[in-house]
Amino acid sequence: MSRDKASTMDAYLQKVFGNPVSELYEAAAGHGVSPALARALELRSFLALVEEQVVRVRDRVHADMDPERDVGELSADKLRFDAQWLDAALEARDGYRAALGELLRTMPPPAQQARPVRTAQLRATVTLPPSSAPAPQRAGAARVRRP
């Protein structure tokens, strides 16, 4: 599972939240977890998974290029496929690192408690254009009955 694997952003997460990653996951399992922590751990899990893929492809290429290996076993197609796979994994890694870094830079400080948002009550005011018909004299005055 990716939560058990290390990632290159773990030290930064610990610095921002003040606890080791394993404790952050435990805290996130409870109720009332901050949305920023939940999102950060989700991105961190994706990052750890992608970094594991990068290492697997790298190790496979290194094994294929081992000097002790028979040169006749080399396959340009296999190496090309591994290069494409590695390129995709590195691009995903860079995207997750950027997204996690941006989240950690822009989120409110962890000590700041979430407060309810107060919104102002909006009032609509309308000014009507002047009427083209003239107002009757004594407009709005009560009518007097005549005998």
Task: Quote the pTM value.
Answer: 0.69
Distance CA 127, CA 17 (A): 53
With CA atoms as reference, report the closest residue to 54 among 92, 100, 6, 13. 92
pLDDT above 80: residue 11: yes
Residue 4: which pLDDT band, with cuts at 50, 70 and 90? confident
Strand segments (E) across the chain: none
Distance CA 40, CA 18 (A): 14
pLDDT given at position 84: 96
pLDDT one-digit tens code per residue, 31-71: 888 899 999 999 999 999 999 999 999 999 999 999 999 98
Q: How far is CA 35 from CA 39, 43, 96, 107, in A?
A: 6, 12, 17, 10
Question: What is the rounded average pLDDT of the residues 92-104?
Answer: 96
pLDDT above 60: residue 118: no
